[in-house]
Amino acid sequence: MLRDIARYLTCPHCAHGLALDAAGRTLRCPEGHAFDVAKQGYVSLLPGDAHTGTGDTAEMVAARADFLAAGHYAPIAAALASAAAGSQGLVVDLGAGTGYYLARVLDALENGVGAALDISKFALRRAAKAHPRAGAVVCDAWRPLPLADGCADLVLNVFAPRNGPEIHRVLRPGGRLLLVSPTTRHLRELVDELGLLAVDEEKDRRIEQKLSPWLTPVGREEVEFELRLTHRDAAAVVGMGPNAWHTEPGRLAAALAALPEPVTVTGSVRVAVYQRSDEGSDERADERADEGSAAPDRG
């Protein structure tokens, strides 16, 4: 619930702390800025000049919800829950989508509470109900996050934008980032047969370069599994990610019809563990990540 995380939230206009009123309907800061909680349970903390055009559409969110509910990416969720062991306090899911992965991590933690952050209100309508100890907040990952300095024990980032300076700022000293990114083998059968976007072989190097010196890599695990997908499932996994912006529906339907059913597909991701690093961060304290125009992985 939003009440569980209200004490960690900050105003997008003045950066002061926010407080939830007794009725649980409005967040207010000492400067008088107020933010109403939507009837679906999330709150928008976007500044007035923000644009939400990069957010997932209702159709993309529905595709993701159906695909994840079927358990196809359960191995990824299990790997995250295992890696999160021992965490306490606030877990921030940056680019949370429907809150699926955050909910699985919170299930594995007795005392954790979760903040699902995303720019898509369609996704957060679902994330607000994903777990009883999670609250959902609309914000832009490429702007200052509406969270207090050093408030998070753990940040999750699954197929989502990565803002190193802001992740560093909101993590407590010694806090960790769990980052999931696709390997070049992820969904390779569909990539080949349907002409989808391929994963850059230099992706891992670029990610690590962008996150340095804000975060230090301390571990990684490759998670690979087999998926047996119906044509409907395959269409969902295409429609829930960046390929949805680049694939013509008629052409996709025709290509899917030519595939066997079920179609066997490889799931392959890397779960990287980073720790907040203070070395060298003072020299770049004002730097902001420059990937704002890049599409999220959204595997």
Integer Cα distance of 118 and 52 in angstroms: 10
| Residue 164 bridge partners (DSSP) | none
Query: Is residue 36 assigned to a domain?
Result: yes
Q: Element (H or E) spanning 164, and its range?
A: helix 164-170
| pLDDT at residue number 195 | 79
Q: Please say whether the beta carbons of 221 and 270 come within 8 A.
A: yes
Integer Cα distance of 236 and 230 in angstroms: 10
Query: Is residue 299 assigned to a domain?
Result: no
Integer Cα distance of 235 and 240 in angstroms: 9
Look up the domain containing 229 and give its range. Answer: 2-284
* CA–centroid distance for 94 within its chain: 4
Integer Cα distance of 76 and 82 in angstroms: 10
| pLDDT at residue number 163 | 95
| pLDDT at residue number 293 | 38
DSSP string covering 166-233, please?
Answer: HHHHHEEEEEEEEEEEE-TTTTHHHHHHHTPPPPPTTHHHHHHHHHTTTEEEEEEEEEEEEEEE-HHH
| pLDDT at residue number 86 | 92
Query: Is residue 171 assigned to a domain?
Result: yes
Number of helices (H) and strands (E), helices first, in the chain?
10, 11
Name the token pair of 91.
């877990």
Query: Is residue 249 assigned to a domain?
Result: yes
Q: Please say whether the beta carbons of 44 and 36 come within 8 A.
A: no
Residue 181 phi, psi dihedral angles, 5° rounding: -135, 150
| pLDDT at residue number 174 | 94
Query: Is residue 196 assigned to a domain?
Result: yes
Integer Cα distance of 184 and 65 in angstroms: 24
Query: Is residue 296 assigned to a domain?
Result: no
Per-residue pLDDT of the chain (299 residues), as tens digits, is 899 999 999 999 999 999 999 999 999 999 999 999 999 999 999 987 776 666 788 988 998 999 999 999 999 999 999 999 999 999 999 999 999 999 999 999 998 999 999 999 999 999 999 999 999 999 999 999 999 999 999 999 999 999 999 999 999 999 999 999 999 999 999 988 887 778 888 888 899 999 998 999 999 999 999 999 999 999 888 878 776 666 777 888 888 899 999 999 999 999 999 999 886 444 444 444 444 434 445 45
Name residues whose C-beta falls within 8 Å of residue 150's C-beta, 6 or more positions apart in sequence.
169, 170, 171, 172, 173, 175
Q: List own/partner pairs for 14-21 with CB under 8 A and 24 or more apart.
A: 15/144, 17/148, 18/146
The residue whose two tokens read 């004002």 is: 286
Give the chain's domain count: 1
| pLDDT at residue number 124 | 96
Q: Is 280 exposed, middle or buried (0-12, 13-18, 19+ CB in 10 A)?
A: exposed
Residue 274 phi, psi dihedral angles, 5° rounding: -120, 150
Query: Is residue 120 assigned to a domain?
Result: yes
Residue 219 phi, psi dihedral angles, 5° rounding: 175, 160
**CATH number of the CATH domain containing 36:** 3.40.50.150
Give the side-chain half-sphere CA count within 13 A for 189.
Answer: 16
| pLDDT at residue number 299 | 53
* CA–centroid distance for 179 within its chain: 9
The region, left, alpha or beta by phi > 0 then psi within -120 to 50, assigned to residue 195 is left
Query: Is residue 294 assigned to a domain?
Result: no
